[in-house]
Amino acid sequence: MTIEFETPKPITQQQYVLKTVADNMMRPHSRYFDENEHEIPWDYIKFMHQAMKASGAGSLAPKDKKKEDPNKPKRPPIGYQMLAHMLEVLSWGDTGMYLITPGGGLGAAAVQSAGTTEQKKKFLARFMGEKPTFAAMCMTEADAGSDTSKIRANAVLDEETQEWVLNGEKIFVTAGDKALTEYEEAGQGFIVVWATIDPEAGRAGMRSFVVEAGTPGVKVMKMEHKLGIRASDTVTIVLQDARVPFENILGKPTVEKTTKGFKGAMATFDATRPLVAAMGIGVARAALEFVQEKLAEEGVEIRYGKPRNTLTSIERDVIDMEVMVRSAWLVTLKAVWMADNQKSNALEASMSKVKAGDVGPKVTQKAIEILGPIGYSREFLLEKWFRDAKITDIYEGTGQINRLVVARNLLGYRGSQLR
């Protein structure tokens, strides 16, 4: 099985539509929602919800199997590839606004990776309902950032009621407010909370729990004010004796000697880290194209194919920026292709995240340097893209952590051997 570099027709068609959305519903409003942090662009959200419903792009719920025609050639799976292209284009439009696009995000990805068929039908189908719906992942704690083994949020089974009782505090939850707040305009969202059912068992005791909006004992306590992606909410959530049904646990409710349950949950990131990389690449491409446009307006030509020592400094910089963006995109395409074809992609997923996490800040910073005052000015969006780009290196595993994952996979070390 080989990787095809030609973009599948369904993705090409999707890109045309999404580029129109980015041009007309995102770019014109980027500055407003950056300056009015946490104000919700309901017009964009409602439009995207209806568009995703019409196309089926928002559905992660398992479909009823139909008898296949044995004579009809099977189409290669392209679900994650389609998502990567979608995120790249929408992040080219505006990363902060993309992050509040209705859908499951990391929360739905966790259910998709670790949930049963019944759980997927129950929780994922709601994203195709009448109202836009949101989900979020709650993992980070004050003393448990990159080292998830230190998570102290706990879940205790009430034997009498057969409910899980959750207690703990989660910080830096992306889209947590929209997932939990019962807006009149939105459907019932949920969060996926990482907690331990046995603190002595370490990672073997870690489990994920689906906690629905409206659950007593769950509160949004703080909304962060951020450097970038300001249209997206990032919050602190406190769980105090929050009760969830027994069947809302993702994975086995018993502790085994292995860390299989933890590894199953971590598989979520093998699927989503390349998608985060695609977001960073979209921002970098926006900055690169803006620089190329402004240089062309001034009559500056980039002479491709000439010896490097004969090029101007600006020509070399622009070509280097193009190389960074394209190479990051190729690594990302490989990672999502592997995810689609159910191949182990932990190495490639972290590689794409590391690469894009570097490329986004470097390309946007170099773009500002090339354009000088107009790059630094708030008259244009370039300085905003510079602020937005850095998050790619931080969330869903920092650049440092993903470098460790890459090194361990390449060298054959366990986590305990290379830290």
Which residues does the annotation mark as catalytic?
A: 396
Cα–Cα distance measured from residue 410 to residue 413, given in angstroms and rounded to the nearest whole number? 8
In the three-class reduction of DSSP (H, G, I as helix; E, B as strand; rest coil), residue 69 is classed as coil
Beta pairing, strands 163-174 & 190-196: unpaired
Cα–Cα distance measured from residue 388 to residue 371, given in angstroms and rounded to the nearest whole number? 18
Residue given tokens 């000697």 in the structure block = 257
What six digits make up the tokens of 147?
A: 């080292």
Q: Which residue, among 42, 30, 5, has the nearest Cα to 231 in the 3D structure?
A: 30
Q: Which amino acid is at 195?
A: A
Alpha-carbon distance values, 125 to 108, 327, 337 (Å): 10, 36, 25
Cα–Cα distance measured from residue 299 to residue 301, given in angstroms and rounded to the nearest whole number? 6
- Residue 277 and residue 332 in contact, taking contact as beta carbons nearer than 8 Å: yes
Q: Which regions of 101-216 does DSSP assign to beta strands (E)?
A: 135-138, 154-158, 163-174, 190-196, 206-212
In the three-class reduction of DSSP (H, G, I as helix; E, B as strand; rest coil), residue 403 is classed as helix
What six digits make up the tokens of 366?
A: 């170099």
In the three-class reduction of DSSP (H, G, I as helix; E, B as strand; rest coil), residue 37 is classed as coil
What DSSP letter does each residue of 252-310 carry, written as one string? -SS--SS-HHHHHHHHHHHHHHHHHHHHHHHHHHHHHHHHHHHHHHTT----TTS-GGG
Long-range contacts of 221-229 (CB under 8 A, 24+ apart): 221/169, 223/38, 223/177, 224/172, 225/37, 226/37, 227/387, 227/390, 228/95, 228/96, 228/384, 228/387, 228/388, 228/389, 228/390, 228/391, 229/95, 229/96, 229/99, 229/388, 229/391
What six digits make up the tokens of 134?
A: 């949101």
